[in-house]
Amino acid sequence: MHVTLINPNICMQRGDFFGTGIPYLPMSLAWVAGYLRQKHSVTVIDAFGEKPMQMRTEGKLHVQGLTVPEILARVPQDTDIIFVYAAKVVAFTVTKAIVAALRKQFEIPIVMLENTQSVVAYSLKTAGKEFLDAGADYCIIGEAENRVDKLLAAIAAKKDPDFDGILYRKNGKDVLIDKKEFIQNLDELPFPAWDLFPLKNYWALGYAHGPMQGKYVPLLTSRGCPYGCKYCVVPATNARRWRFRSPKHVVDEIEHWVKTLGVTEFHLEDLNPTVRKDRIVEICREILARDLKISWKIVAGTKVETMDRDTVTWMAKAGCTYVSISPESGSPAVLKLMDKPFNHELALDMVRHMHKLGITTQACFVLGFPGETPEDLQLTRKYVNKLVKAGIDEVALFVMTPIPGSNQFNALDGYENYSQLTFTPIWRKDFKRLSSFRNRLYAEFYLRKLLFHPVRLIRQPFNVLFKNFETKTEMTAFRTLKLMRIIATS
């Protein structure tokens, strides 16, 4: 069959350069492309990557990339089936518009693919009905590699799909067969098909999700997360199941991209890559044994309690230069509400050790979780101050939003559509109060950083100037200036 895969546009909430507009490479889609091309002819249309500097404004969103007519024109006429990636929640309305336009022009099946490995995605079990309304025929819920063959077989046989992880409509009624199976042996999957994506356009941007310093490739060394954080969609999309690739398979992929793309920088996009310390250490040993001169960064966050000083030391030896951790709150009471275990004292020790080894660190926090009090916010403020003294390089302060599929999806209202469910939810009644606290805490962070670690702070403007990004903050400043110029001329 001839299969076409579509990655939607990157979207940015108007006025929010901080939390939206980040060019995540479509990780899960690239893995599906690698799987499908074993048996089928595959065309990839990357609506962002093919024209990343083309900008338009639609309502409250700035949209980067191809227009809808340009996307339609790129679909080969002999395509048998179209898969559309449900990439990020901020792009929900744009993705739905793409589906509706495809439905008008093509009479072939349209299938939505869930982005299961991202905290800025959403559950198709919750949101899929809107895509069916727009014209999609099926939504694959959960990992696609173990379901696409079954769906293609059902379509070819003109039968209703009867496997787990599928949502479709029959006789005007939605049929949901919820997911049960998860891929256990990830080593059996082929590497993601990054050669089908316009990587050079992503590299030319000069910014990424993680702090980039040249050509890079994202890595997914594991899938899922065993924790049940209530603000997060991942417990819904992965059912708290963590599965991992073997160290050899991970380093085989690294070596493959070093040889075929000339890449020496790798960004780990795992939801929680360090669950097993022994596996991370073995990955480090394998990198060193092969004498691979690379740098790698844990950019999507990890559970700091799963590491110790020995693990971090091995990571530094093997080229790790950046680690993001997620305290989320300085208040034990709020962490209990979130169902988020976190060891504050151990995290401080790990930050000190990483600082000593030259690993850049980030700490992420969620403000405004239901039940949080002003006293809880002050505990977060005090903990941020402790992290600064320990050597944290940057903090990210997000305001809680009800992601479709998360435990807290129904906890807040006031938004008009899912694209407004960003981590800068201006529609929240208490947003001004939380935003004011956030701005004050950022200011205090930089003042204290100037006091305790002045050299690192003074270095940041030069890193922005010379595009030698060590932190996401530096890269955000560069991205903001670049996008403001594009918006002004578009």
* CATH number of domain containing 10: 3.40.50.2300
Within this chain, do residues 141 and 244 fall inside the same structural domain, yes or no?
A: no
Q: Is the pLDDT of residue 302 over 90?
A: yes
- Per-residue pLDDT of 317-345, as tens digits, reads 999 999 999 999 999 999 999 999 999 99
Give pLDDT, residue 121: 98
Query: Which of 177, 200, 233 is the C-terminal boundary of a domain?
Result: 177
Within this chain, do residues 357 and 281 fall inside the same structural domain, yes or no?
A: yes
Mean pLDDT of the chain: 97
- Per-residue pLDDT of 416-435, as tens digits, reads 999 999 999 999 999 999 99
Residue 289 in domain: yes
| Cα 177 to Cα 160, 180, 232, distances in angstroms | 11, 9, 23
Residue 183 in domain: no
Give residue 348's domain range.
208-489
Query: Which of 177, 197, 226 is the C-terminal boundary of a domain?
Result: 177
User: CB count, 10 Å around CB of 184?
Assistant: 11
Q: Is the pLDDT of residue 19 over 90?
A: no
Residue 293 in domain: yes
Within this chain, do residues 153 and 280 fall inside the same structural domain, yes or no?
A: no
Within this chain, do residues 304 and 452 fall inside the same structural domain, yes or no?
A: yes
Pairwise CA distance, residues 96 & 93, whole Å: 5
Give pLDDT, residue 438: 98
Give pLDDT, residue 166: 98
Closest of 65, 79, 68, 73 to residue 11, by C-alpha? 65
Q: Is the pLDDT of residue 262 over 90?
A: yes
Give pLDDT, residue 250: 98
Give pLDDT, residue 490: 80
| Residue 397 DSSP label | E
Within this chain, do residues 171 and 253 fall inside the same structural domain, yes or no?
A: no
Q: How many residues does the chain have?
A: 490
What percent of the chain has a predicted confidence (pLDDT) above 70? 100
Pairwise CA distance, residues 54 & 328, whole Å: 35
Within this chain, do residues 132 and 86 fall inside the same structural domain, yes or no?
A: yes
The mean pLDDT value for 119-141 works out to 98
The mean pLDDT value for 392-420 works out to 98
Give pLDDT, residue 12: 96
Within this chain, do residues 295 and 170 fall inside the same structural domain, yes or no?
A: no
Within this chain, do residues 466 and 388 fall inside the same structural domain, yes or no?
A: yes
pLDDT level of residue 276 (50, 70, 90 thresholds)? very high
- Per-residue pLDDT of 210-222, as tens digits, reads 999 999 999 999 9
Strand partners, 449: none
- Domain total for the chain? 2
The mean pLDDT value for 124-150 works out to 98
Question: What phi and psi, each to the nearest 5 degrees, are found at residue 364?
Answer: -110, 140
Residue 11 in domain: yes
Give pLDDT, residue 484: 92
Residue 193 in domain: no
| Cα 39 to Cα 42, 142, 165, 436, 475, distances in angstroms | 9, 21, 22, 54, 40
CATH of the domain at 336: 3.80.30.20
Residue 356 in domain: yes
Within this chain, do residues 340 and 440 fall inside the same structural domain, yes or no?
A: yes
Within this chain, do residues 434 and 340 fall inside the same structural domain, yes or no?
A: yes
Within this chain, do residues 391 and 433 fall inside the same structural domain, yes or no?
A: yes
| Residue 103 DSSP label | H
Identify residue 387 by its one-letter amino acid code.
L
- Per-residue pLDDT of 40-77, as tens digits, reads 999 999 999 999 999 999 999 999 999 999 999 999 99
**Non-local CB neighbours of 463 within 8 Å, separated by 6+ positions:** 469, 470, 471, 474
| Residue 190 DSSP label | P
Residue 37 in domain: yes
Q: Are 192 and 33 in contact (CB under 8 A)?
A: yes
Query: Which of 159, 177, 195 is the C-terminal boundary of a domain?
Result: 177
Within this chain, do residues 283 and 171 fall inside the same structural domain, yes or no?
A: no
pLDDT level of residue 305 (50, 70, 90 thresholds)? confident
- Per-residue pLDDT of 154-206, as tens digits, reads 999 999 999 999 999 999 999 999 999 999 999 999 999 999 999 999 999 99
Specify the DSSP element, H or E, that contains 394. Answer: strand 394-399
Q: Are 161 and 151 in contact (CB under 8 A)?
A: yes
Residue 203 in domain: no
